């Protein structure tokens, strides 16, 4: 099937969903996809493989390897409330030590990894909006 034909067929499907709420349309599409996978491609290996993620850095870590900041909701919220003012990682760590104590505060490398993860998430979100 050519890309143009695929687009045309998709347009027909979307047109048939006119008048439904977004939630209803998505529920119908999800059910249709499940039905196609269950009835039209049983046993085909490519459908049994996990789907690749868009951004491998956003995949959840295996159990037991959650980062110190991700596992501490209070600390995570504190970091997200810092705003747009520039601060060095050392300054951020000092703020965390002052607020949460030296034992609870993550290392500078943990803070750096978390900030990189947030930056990647923002990049992916911005790409999705284009």
Tens of pLDDT, residues 11-33 = 888 888 888 888 888 888 888 87
Structure tokens at 27: 């529920």
pLDDT on residue 57: 55
Count of C-beta atoms within a 10 Å radius of residue 89: 14
Considering the chain, what is the average pLDDT of its residues?
80
Give residue 59's pLDDT band: very low, low, confident or very high (50, 70, 90): low
The reported pLDDT for the residue numbered 102 is 95
pLDDT of residue 89: 95
Triad 77, 82, 86: Cα angle to 5°: 145
Residue 79's Cβ-count burial label (10 Å; 0-12, 13-18, 19+) is middle
CA–CA distance, 72 with 110 (Å, rounded to integer): 13
Question: What is the SS3 assignment for 97?
Answer: helix
For residues 31 and 86, give the distance between their C-alpha atoms in angstroms, rounded to a whole number: 47
Classify residue 64 as left (phi > 0), alpha (psi -120 to 50) or beta: left
What pLDDT, on the 0 to 100 scale, is given for residue 127? 73
The pLDDT value given to residue 88:
94
């Amino acid at each position: 099937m050519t890309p143009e034909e695929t687009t045309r067929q998709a347009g027909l499907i979307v047109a048939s969903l006119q008048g439904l709420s977004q939630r209803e349309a998505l529920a119908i599409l999800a059910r249709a996809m499940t039905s196609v996978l269950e009835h039209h491609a049983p046993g085909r290996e490519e459908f049994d493989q996990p789907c690749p993620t868009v951004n491998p850095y956003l995949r959840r870590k295996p159990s037991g390897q959650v980062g110190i900041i991700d596992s501490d909701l209070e600390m995570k919220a504190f970091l997200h409330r810092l705003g747009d003012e520039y601060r060095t990682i050392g300054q951020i760590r000092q703020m965390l030590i002052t607020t949460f104590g030296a034992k609870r505060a993550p290392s500078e490398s943990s803070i750096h990894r978390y900030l990189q993860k947030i930056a990647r998430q923002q990049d992916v979100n911005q790409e999705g909006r284009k």
